Structure 1
Amino acid sequence: MDNTSSNKFSISAFSWGLHDFATTRIVSVQSTFLFVLLFLSLSVVKAKCKSRKKINQAPLPPGPTPWPIIGNLAEIIWKNKPTFRWIHALMKELDTDIACIRLAYTHVIPVTSPEIAREFLKKHDSVFASRPVTMATEYSSRKFLTIAVVPWGDQWKKMRKVVASEIIAPSRLRWLLEKRTEEADNLVRFIYNQCKSNGDDNSTGSSAVINLRLATRQYSGNVIRKMMFNRRYFGEGRKDGGPGYEEEEHVESLFTVLMHLYSFILSDYIPWLRPLDLEGHEKIVSEAMRIVNDYHDPLIDERVHEWRDGKRKEPQDLLDTFILAKDSNGKPALSVEEIKAQCTEIMLATVDNPSNAAEWTMAEMINQPETLQNAIEEIDRVVGKDRLVQESDLPKLIYVKACAREAYRLHPIAPFNLPHVSNADTIVAGYFIPKGSHVLLSRVGLGRNPKVWDEPLEFKPERHLKDGSIEIDLTETELRFISFSTGRRGCMGVALGTAMTLMLLARVIQGFTWRIPPDEAKINLSESQNDLFLAKPLHALAQPRLPAHLYPPN
């Protein structure tokens, strides 16, 4: 077995080891949970129900009848996995666009209606501006030092100010354009080299079956590593431009953390159970974060010392910008721990959305050759075949943007948006929303809502072109779907996420002809049971379609 195969096997073994551990621990949950029920029922402490039944008060949204004290925790712990699919099935059964599911003392409010979603995030945005505290977000943010997952408060305001002014400003994105372009070139080179190694000297005539999930995820990882640390590889990488063991492990660990940020685990609703780690989630998250930190922390510590010792004179990447950021008194704006935490959060926020949208878009279009051909013809018309697509071309690629927009609608990265927590009792859509409720805007429910979209389960980019507009954004201000979160706690990296998604998609479409692999009748578009990714990574037959001299050399 060669090193590459051995490395891949190690990552696979790591992933399955975590999976087996979690499965084993879940088996013990039922008996443990029975003990918890007995303990709670015998407790002399009277529970205070947060639903506050008052005369003439608006009702809670419809939902399943909760058990005393534990609410509906038994339903999601014992048998209804994954929880997001149970929630959506329940709302369909109840025929409602808003529901209330009580988990212990927390009211969880899922929403699938754009009108109600707008009421939450536009009319009452200030009331729902906080985030819940979970085990996984505590790990990912180094005990809540960042922006996206921290509760509302001074720390969020401080970090948001620094990131908005120093990191994601338009001038900063322009400054880092060359690094993003370098990784777009490397993506094309990586795929081209796989085709070339499978053919003869006439490289433009050779082809190979490409793992597009690997290619798209590593492109996203490469881009943010280059922007953050000015490097593509933590290790030696591969000569063909592909990831080495370190890069695959890094990205795999980031995705593991993302999968557990808000995963409906028991201890997030009954905190005193956390030391037991009944479902094994804390072991999984802590190990994944250990891997991420082992790659990041030495680089950050070394860079901080270089600036303190005067060994660096000019900033080269986002890490330098974090280190050099000053407060109003001219002192460092961020501690080293805050820098480490925010670097990781930016990594987490960057790797998943562009890669998932591109993989799903390519899977859908390869099954619809006419749709793929429309995108090819647009790129050839706007860019031609004598040079590679650049970010400056993206505003003119209207159909390509429509394809990406359709992927965000139909195939979102996560079932729900990041939760919003209410800081006061509120009435929304005629329903009582208690203080402390977790509001979950459903990316699945909004994007696939048959009351909003015709043929909601069909991939039809043309639906976004009907108004004849020559301007298309990947964002959806009316919340008919969610590509990037909106509102006071909305995504701050929309411009970067848009550029990464479209550049990835345009380069893959322009550089290669894509077909269904020879041994398959069509691309399997089945969705994974436990998440919203393709059930199997996308493999497709690629053949270079541009003159050989356009493919970046080794």
Structure 2
Amino acid sequence: MLNFSILLLFITFALRYLFKPQWRGKANQSSLPPGPKPWPIVGNLPELIKSKKKTSVSHWIHSFMKEMNTEIACIRLGNAHVILVTCPEISREFLKKHDAVFASRPLTMATDVISKGHLSTIFAPSGDQWKKMRKIMVSEMLSKARHQWLYEKRVEEADNLVRYVHNQCKISDEGGLVNVRVAARHYCGNVTRKLVFNRRYFGEGKADGGPGFEEEEYIEAIFTFLAYVYSFCVSDYLPFLRGLDLEGHETIVKEATRVMNKYHDPIIEDRIRNRRDDKIDEPKDLLDVLVSLTDDNDILLLSMDEIKAQICEIMIAAVDNPSNALEWALAELLNKPETLQKAMDELDNVVGKDRLVQESDFPQLNYVKACAREAFRLHPISPFIPPHVSVIDTTVAGYFIPKGSHVVLSREGMGRNPKVWKDPYEFKPERHLQGCNEGEEVELTEPELQFISFSRGRRGCPGVVLGSSMTTMLFARLLHSFNWSIPTNQGTIDLSQRKGESFLAKPLLAVAKPRLSPNVYSFQGKRKIN
């Protein structure tokens, strides 16, 4: 099987260089969207594999779409038609007008591993399992009432964020050098662990409020998995290759999942035992809620595998987006001191300098939220949103979309679309305040899909309220509590993007110095750490 697979790929690569590929043009309203002409059996996999080695799949896709002057395209990977969209208007057709048609997900190697056979919400295809888990997430885990119930835990981790950064400032009267990526990612990890497990650390943590080895290993595993979850793995389109692990993706995904499960599983199994022994009275966290759910006959609603799969999904869904937006935004703001000052002035006017920002301040922090929106627009966490799969044949934007097609909306393409955004590559928070009436609150969501902060539609993110809260608090606490500056002799912040990924090429290092009244930070040493 292995020799045959390698021979097949070799033949298709040879054909690729012997014959110049042709564009599939726009024929009529019943045709597929335009795109590169596919090869027999493998489709456009040779071009995709080549793009991975040279630059990235995202770069290849956006380049040929620009060359073809199209905002919707189709490539064939194996037997799957992959529909690519960079236009907000067409995206709205998919996720609003035809939302029910595109409410499924592809079955991939990575999603199968992490979700124990697609038992969770995000990764499950449409069907009874997805409906069951989606209902639980919306009504039991992420409802407004549950959000309010978990308020104190979120505040505790926002306080710990300030404590941790403040401790980095004690090195010098001029402030301390802070790894912003570490601070942001571990704030998001801490919040999620606190909500789910009622604990900040899996191990001992550090006295300064920072992550210990266990938390560092855990966060690294989450971001490793996220890098591979929908990475156009060849075996997802040629299933007979699965198990051969020709690209090494399967080994990497299984190892990252093993690390996450190493920390999750003992806690989950212990809670389930406690529930069976009637040792859980009132739920204290989201895991207690999950293990306590029963049906009308008082029988446990979820199996152990369903609980483990859903916990994994919650943890990986909450860390990347807010932390990436903060790191990029602060990097941009440090290169634009006037813009940074506007955000700090707003915080001083709303909050003052004698207390910390609270969630009740959020409605008045429109400029801070505009900075977050601009980071989501210009620097999305990933080039594409998770694929939607069509459950029937249909027509969208005048093109035929076959049943089983994978529809992939481009975060980059929409957020940087020059037909929608003036100066699309410039960081300008003010653009999100235009047309905003006095007293109107800026939201982090974008219902018209001119950019994507949180996924929309039936497959939309059920944790929008939590994600918005975490993002706004992360921005507000760091911008309000500290003066930020570029390290001496550095000049400006390098805004280069890491090859093949959406992060800054190098973690952002910036100098932080306390800017509030000293008594505001006095509680930091008294807070319970674990």
TM norm structure 2: 0.93
Residues in 2 aligned to 1:137 and 1:168: alpha-carbon distance in whole angstroms: 22
Note the alpha carbon deviations across 1:155-182, whole angstroms, 9 max, x for none. Answer: 0000011111110011111111111111
- The aligned counterpart of 1:213 is 181
Aligned to 2:33: 61
Whichever residue aligns with residue 497 of structure 1, its letter is G
Q: How does 1:121-136 map to 2 (within 5 A)?
A: 121-136=95-110
User: 1:178 is matched with which residue: 130, 152, 155?
Assistant: 152
Native 8 Å contact 1:162 1:333 kept in 2: no
How many residue pairs were aligned?
506
1:479 aligned partner: 449
Structure 1 pair 540/40, CA: closer, same or farther in 2 (3 Å)? closer
Q: Does residue 427 of the first structure (1) align with residue 398 of the second (2)?
A: no
Give the alignment of 1:257-276 within 5 angstroms.
257-276=225-244
Please list the CA deviations of residues 166-208 of structure 1 after superposition, one character each: whole Å capped at 9, or x if unmatched: 1001111111111111111001000110111x12xxxxx4411
2:243 aligned counterpart, secondary structure: helix
What pairs up with 1:119-198 in 2 under 5 angstroms? Answer: 119-196=93-170, 198=171
1:390 aligns with 2:358: yes
Q: 2:197 aligns with which of 210, 229, 233?
A: 229
1:537 maps to which of 499, 504, 507: 507
1:57 Cα deviation (Å)? Answer: 6.7
Aligned with residue 116 of structure 1, among 83, 87, 90: 90
Q: Is the 8 A contact 2:74 2:82 kept in 1?
A: yes
Cα distance in 2 for partners of 1:330, 1:408 equals 43
Residue type at the aligned position of 2:32: L
Task: Give TM-score scaled by structure 1 length.
Answer: 0.89
Q: 1:228 and 1:291 mapped to 2: Cα distance?
A: 17
Q: Secondary structure at the match of 2:492?
A: coil
**In 1: Cα distance, 2:455 partner to 2:114 partner:** 19
CA–CA separation in structure 1 for the residues paired with 2:160 and 2:9 = 56
Query: In the alignment, what sits opposite 1:247?
Result: 215
How far, CA to CA, are the matches of 1:332 and 1:184 in structure 2?
Answer: 34
Give me the CA root mean square deviation.
1.7
Residue 454 (str. 1) matches residue 414 (str. 2): no
Instruction: Name the SS of the counterpart of 1:145 in structure 2.
Output: coil
Give the equivalent residue in structure 2 for 1:78. Answer: 50
1:91 aligns with 2:32: no
Residue 280 of structure 1 pairs with residue 248 of structure 2: yes
Matching of residues 319-398 of structure 1 within 5 Å:
319-398=287-366
Evaluate the alpha carbon distance shift between residue 182 and residue 248 of structure 1 in structure 2; reply closer, same or farther with a 3 A threshold.
same
Question: Which residue number corresponds to residue 408 of structure 1?
Answer: 376
Using the alignment, how far apart are the partners of 2:51 and 2:255 within structure 1?
A: 27
Choose from 276, 292, 302 the match for 2:270: 302
Q: Which residue of 1 aligns with 2:496?
A: 526
Moved more, 113-122 or 463-472: 463-472
Change beyond 3 A, Cα 1:75–1:392: same
Q: Contact 2:370/2:430 (CA < 8 Å) preserved in 1?
A: yes
Amino acid at match of 2:524: P
Tell me if structure 1 keeps the 8 A contact 2:88–2:450.
yes
Residues 484-536 of structure 1, C-alpha deviations (whole Å, 9 max, x = no match): 00001100000000000000000000110001111310011111111111111
Secondary structure of the equivalent of 1:549? Answer: helix
Matched, 1:496 2:496: no
* Deviation for aligned residue 1:310: 2.7
Letter in 2 for 1:83: V
Q: Distance in 1 between matches of 2:518 and 2:40?
A: 69
* Structure 1 CA distance for aligned equivalents of residues 28 and 167 of structure 2: 70
Amino acid at match of 2:100: S
From 499, 510, 527, give the equivalent of 2:480: 510
Among candidates 73, 81, 98, match of residue 107 of structure 1 = 81
Provide the residue aligned with 1:23 in structure 2: none
Matched residue of 2:400: which SS? strand
Q: CA deviation at 1:33?
A: 5.1
- Asked if structure 1 preserves the Cα contact closer than 8 Å seen for 2:45 and 2:234, the reply is yes
Distance 1:170 1:56, change over 3 A: closer
Superposed CA deviations along residues 419-453 of structure 1, whole A, max 9, x for unmatched, are 00011111111111111110000000000000000
Deviations 1:95-115 (A, max 9, x none): 100000111111111100011
TM-aligned CA distance change 1:39 to 1:443, over 3 Å: closer
- Deviation per CA, 1:44-74, whole angstroms, max 9, x where unpaired? xxxxxxxxxxx98711111001111111101
Is the CA contact (8 Å cut-off) linking 1:229 and 1:318 kept in structure 2?
yes
* Contact kept in structure 2, 1:206 and 1:544, CA below 8 Å: no
What amino acid is aligned across from residue 517 of structure 1 in structure 2? P
Q: Residue 67 of structure 1 aligns to a residue in which SS? A: coil
Structure 1 residue 84, shift from structure 2 partner: 1.3
Q: CA deviation at 1:85?
A: 1.3
Gap runs ≥5 in structure 2: 14-26, 526-530
Aligned counterparts of 2:297 and 2:231: Cα–Cα separation in 1:
41
How far is the alpha carbon of 1:37 from its aligned partner?
4.7
Question: Conserved in 1, the CA contact under 8 Å of 2:51 and 2:60?
Answer: no
Pairwise CA distance, 1:118: 0.5
What one-letter code is carried by the residue in structure 2 that aligns with 1:340?
Answer: K
Provide the residue aligned with 1:553 in structure 2.
Answer: 524
Q: Distance in 2 between matches of 1:509 and 1:79?
A: 39
Q: Are the structure 2 counterparts of residues 79 and 360 from structure 1 closer, same or farther at C-alpha, using a change threshold of 3 Å?
A: closer
Gaps of 5+ in 1: 1-28, 42-54, 200-204
Q: Describe the superposition over 1:458-500 as per-residue Cα deviations: whole angstroms up to 9, x where unpaired.
A: 0000001111332211111111000000001100000000000
